[in-house]
Amino acid sequence: MQVEQKRRISKNAIFTNGIFLFIIKLQDVKSITHQDSEKESNYGLWKKGDKSMNALTRDLIKQVDMTEEMMKTKEQKEGGFYREKLHLMPPVGWLNDPNGLCQLNGIYHAFFQYSPFNAEGGVKMWGHYTSKDMIDWEYQGVKLYPDQPFDCHGVYSGSAFIEDDKMYVYYTGNVKLEDGDFDYINTGRESNTVLVVSEDGKTFGSKKELMRNVDYPSDLTCHVRDPKVWKDGDTYYMIQGARTKEDVGQALIFESKDKINWKFRSRVESEKPFGYMWECPDYFEVDGTKILSASVQGLEGGVWDDRNVYQSGYFMVDGNILDDYKLSEYMLWDYGFDFYAPQSFETEDGRRVHISWMGMPDCEEYTNLTIAEGWQHCFTFPREVFVEDGKVRQRPVRELQKRKTLVDKSTGMLKKDGYKVYDVNILGIQNNEFRTVIDEELILEYKNGRFEMHFTSQDKNSVSAGRGMRYVDVDKISSVEILVDKSSVEVFVNNGEYVFTTRFYPQKDSLVVEAAGAEIMMEEIR
C-alpha cells in the first residue's frame, strides 16, 4: 500500500529524525548495487558485517540501529505513556500496513511498513516481529531495506507464501522517477513486483525483480501493487490491486507454475465502477465462503460521506474468481475510525487470522498524540475470521483467553476505575438497551436503530485527538465485547458481526457499562 500525502513527497528518498537528513538518489543506488542483466541483485543473506551487502544497506542498518537505540534510551528515561501492551507498534517512527503475515514451523511472523526516521511517515522498509502465540511478540529488526534500483523509494506492501518450509515474500518495489513533469499516477512511478526467499524467516536471499509496469495490462495507471499469493492444484495465483486510466479500481490475477515466472490471467471487478483504487487485495475461503478483501479508495456520496476517507471491506464471491464469478455487496470489515489494509493468513491449525493497520492514510479529520513521543500507529489485535449464520464475523484470537483474570461480574451495570488493559463481555442484552462510557469521553451505545461510537470532545488535543462519530445501522444487538488497550479500543458487536476500532488517549482510565438485564464480565489482561 502506498500513502499519497497532500504535500508531495520529494522525488528523492528523504529520511529524517530531527537530527540528521539522509538523502538517497536513484543514481546513487544504481552505482552501488552492481545490478546484473538478470533482474537479480547482490543483496545476499544480509547480516551486520556481511561483505555481500551493498553500501546503502550497511548505512541504513547503522542509521536504523542508532535511531531505535535513541528512542529506547528516551523511553527508559521518560516512559511511553501510550505504548500498547497487546498491539504491535513501531520501535520508533511510523508504522502502517501489516505485511508477510504467516506461520512458519510454529512461529508467527508479522512484518510491517516502517519509517523509523519520522513519526509522520517516509520511505518504507519492512520491520519484523515474531511470536509463538500472537500475544507476546519479539522485535527482530528490519528485514527488507529500500536498497535496490527497483525498490529505492520504498519496500511497499506484500505477502508471504509458505511452501516446503520456506517463506516466499512478494512485495511491491516503489520507484519515483526524477527529471520530468510527472503526476505519479499515470507517469513517473515504477511499481515493480519483487520476490525474496527465506528458509528460516530471519535471513533473506537475493531480491528478484519479477514484473515491471510493462508486464501489467496497458490500460492501467502506474498504481499496481500489494501482491498476495495462493496455490490451487499445481498452479500459483497472485492478486494485486490496480487503478485504471479511467480511474476505476479493480484487482488483477496472475498465474505461475514455479512462483517466479508470472503471466497475467484475468481481472476482478465490480459490475459498476467502485472507487478509483483497490489496495491490499486478499482472496481466501472460510467455512465454505469465498472472500475477496480490498481497501477501496475514492468512495464518495451517501453513506460513504459518514465513513472514513478510505474503506476496508470485502465482497463474498459467488462462483470461480478466476473465470465466472459474481461479487456481493461490499461490506466493511470495521466501522470505526482506525482500520485499513488488513491482511490474512492461515494458521497451521487451520484458522483464518487477519491483522490490520490501526490507522488511516490521508486523514486530516483526526490525529494521534503519540507523534509528540516520536512514534505513530499500531496494528489491530489478531482476529479470527469465521462464518456463522451466513455472516462473516471476527473475534480476538482464542490465545487471549489464557491471559485474562476476572475483575468483576455483574448484571445490568458495572463501574470500574484504574484499569488500562482489559476485556469486557456483555451478553444477553435486552431490548437493545446498551451504553458504555470509557474515560468519560468515548461513548458506545445503541441509539435510534444504530450502534454508535462517538466522542464527547473532538478537539485534537483531547482523548479523541479529533475523532467524532461512526455508526452502523442494526436491528438488534444481543452481545458486545470491548477490548481495551492503553491507547486503543476494539468493539465486537453481535459476536463479531460488526466491529469498531479506534485509537484514543485516556487520562482517567474509567469504565461505566449499562445494559439492563445483561450479564457483564470484566477481565484484566496481564
pLDDT at 388 over 50: yes
Taking every pair of Cα atoms in the chain, the longest distance, rounded to a whole number of angstroms, is 71
State yes or no: is 97 an active-site residue. yes
Same CATH fold assignment for domains 13-388 and 398-525: no
At 54, the pLDDT band (50, 70, 90 cuts) reads confident
pLDDT, tens digit, 9 for 90 and up, residues 231-255: 999 999 999 999 999 999 999 999 9
Interhelix angle for 55-78 vs 26-33, to 10°?
120
Give CA 327 to chain center in angstroms. 23
Share of the chain above pLDDT 70, in %: 90
Measured between alpha carbons, how far is 471 from 365 in angstroms, rounded to an integer?
Answer: 16
CA 513 to chain centre: 30
Which of 28, 36, 97, 305 is catalytic? The answer is: 97
18-27, 68-77, 272-281, 489-498: range with lowest mean pLDDT: 18-27
What is the pLDDT, as a whole number, of residue 2? 55
Q: Which CATH number fits domain 398-525: 3.40.50.10490, 2.60.120.560, 3.40.1360.10, 3.40.50.720?
A: 2.60.120.560
Looking at residue 4, what is its pLDDT? Answer: 43
Pair 321, 238: CB distance under 8 Å: no
Average pLDDT (444-448) is: 96
Per-residue pLDDT, 53 = 75
Q: How confident is the model at residue 125 (pLDDT cuts 50, 70, 90)?
A: very high
Q: How many CB atoms neighbour CB 271 within 10 A?
A: 7
Per-position DSSP letters for 471-522, written without gaps between them = EEE-S---EEEEEEETTEEEEEETTTTEEEEEE---SS-EEEEEEEEEEEEE
The 10s digit of each residue's pLDDT in 183-207 is 999 999 999 999 999 999 999 999 9
pLDDT for residue 8 is more than 60: no
126 with 207: CB under 8 angstroms?
Answer: no
Q: Tens of pLDDT along 132-171?
A: 999 999 999 999 999 999 999 999 999 999 999 999 999 9
Distances (CA, A) of 74 to 65, 69, 505: 14, 9, 20
pLDDT at 411 over 90: yes
| CATH class (in words) of the domain with range 13-388 | mainly beta
Going from N- to C-terminal start, the domains of the chain cover: 13-388, 398-525
Segment among 39-43, 62-66, 189-193, 403-407 with least mean pLDDT: 39-43
pLDDT band at 302 (very low <50, low <70, confident <90, very high): very high
Residue 42 has pLDDT above 80, yes or no: no
CA distance 278 to 298: 9
pLDDT above 80: residue 520: yes
Mean pLDDT calculated for residue range 31-56 = 46
Phi, psi of 63 (to 5 degrees): -65, -40
Chain-wide mean pLDDT for the chain? 91
Query: Model-level pTM?
Result: 0.91
Which pLDDT band, with edges at 50, 70 and 90, does 1 fall under? low
